[in-house]
Amino acid sequence: MAKYLKVTGQLNRFFKRVNELTQRELNACSTFYQVEMISRKKSAEYIWNHMANARLFTREQDYWNDLMGQIPANGLLFEFGVYKGRSINYLAEQLNKKGDRRRIYGFDSFLGMPNKPRIQGADKNRYDLKGIMPVVLPNVNLVKGRVEDTFFTFMENLKLKDKSIAYIHFDFNQYEVTKYILEYVLPLLKKGTIIDFDELLGYVDWHENEFKAMMETIGTTCEFEHVAFCEPVGSASSEIKSAIKIKRLYTTHR
């Protein structure tokens, strides 16, 4: 009986491996697979050309810890696209550990994506929490609603003399709203501002999403450098995170 089970186990492993190799060969013949490989190659080339002062990470926590160590000591902290609050709570926890008493403001409708997502395979309703906001740490303030309807009013009502921005985390997964926010905050950026993009590279059509919004705004008004890239090990998705640091503004906005 033991010998039979051993042989059966070996056969199962053999056929599983054959199936994996067969699927790999079938994928290699797929046009969509080739498109995905081209997208990955273009992403790798971009990283190769912009990694002079950047660190590479395979764990999100290490990536965020590194960014929290680089943000300016003064300035506002934002996250656009909160969803269930995993990243904003982690960032808020790191601020507490540093003794940084600033608050981090998160913006989300909690109703999912307003438009068809550009990211391949993304489901418009995937991020729909039916308007229910997640539980967050005390140093997090959530602003509920479409950011196009809430952000301007929020900034107008913010009673601060210095409204410059130290850190932004973008996780909207869409070009239009990312560009809208970037255009608005351009006058509030300064030397040292960290802008963190959750899905900058790696997937099919990446150059038409956050990357495009970044290049059409930051790319034409600022000198910047990439300070970190993150491709989480074990992730089911192919998106690559990246953060940039503002080095100089070409135009004086303020």
Do 182 and 84 share a structural domain?
yes
Domain boundary among 35, 51, 67: 51
Co-location of 28 and 63 in the same domain: no
Range of the domain at 26: 1-51
Distance from C-alpha of 129 to C-alpha of 82, rounded to nearest angstrom: 11
Mean confidence (pLDDT) of the chain: 87
Give residue 251's pLDDT.
67
Task: Based on the fold, state whether residues 106 and 24 are members of the same structural domain.
Answer: no
Q: Looking at the structure, tell me whether residues 182 and 143 fall in a common domain.
A: yes
Hunting for tokens 């051993």 — which residue is that? Answer: 6
Q: What is the pTM of this model?
A: 0.84
Domain with 112 in it: what CATH number?
Answer: 3.40.50.150
Predicted pLDDT at 112:
80
pLDDT number for residue 116: 58
**Are residues 78 and 165 in contact, defined by beta-carbon separation less than 8 angstroms?**
yes
Task: Quote the CA–CA distance of 185 and 175 in Å, as a whole number.
Answer: 16
Please give the backbone phi and psi of residue 196, each rounded to the nearest 5 degrees, phi first.
-110, 120
**Is residue 254 included in any domain, yes or no?**
no
Q: Which residues of the chain have pLDDT under 70?
A: 1-29, 114-126, 129, 235-236, 251-254
Length of the chain (residues): 254
**Beta-bridge mates of residue 245:** 194, 225
Report the number of distinct structural domains present in the chain. 2
Q: Are strands 240-249 and 222-230 parallel, antiparallel or unpaired?
A: antiparallel
Tell me: do 57 and 141 sit in the same domain. Answer: yes
Return the ∠ at Cα 196 (arms to 190 and 201), rounded to 5°. 130
Tell me, what's the pLDDT at 46? Answer: 97
Indicate the SS3 state at residue 242.
strand
Tokens 């239009």 found at: 176
Coil vs helix vs strand at 9: helix
63 and 24 in a common domain? no
Same domain, yes or no: 46 and 77: no
d(Cα 96, Cα 137) in Å, to the nearest integer?
10
**Maximal C-alpha separation, the chain:** 80
In a domain, 174, yes or no: yes
Is 62 contained in some domain? yes
Residue 1 forms part of a structural domain: yes
Residues 16 and 88 in one domain: no
Residues 45 and 58 in one domain: no
| 33, 134: one domain | no
SS3 147: helix
Cα gap 57→241, rounded to integer Å: 9
Whether residues 175 and 135 share a domain: the answer is yes
C-alpha 123, offset from chain centre: 17
Does one domain contain both 47 and 68? no
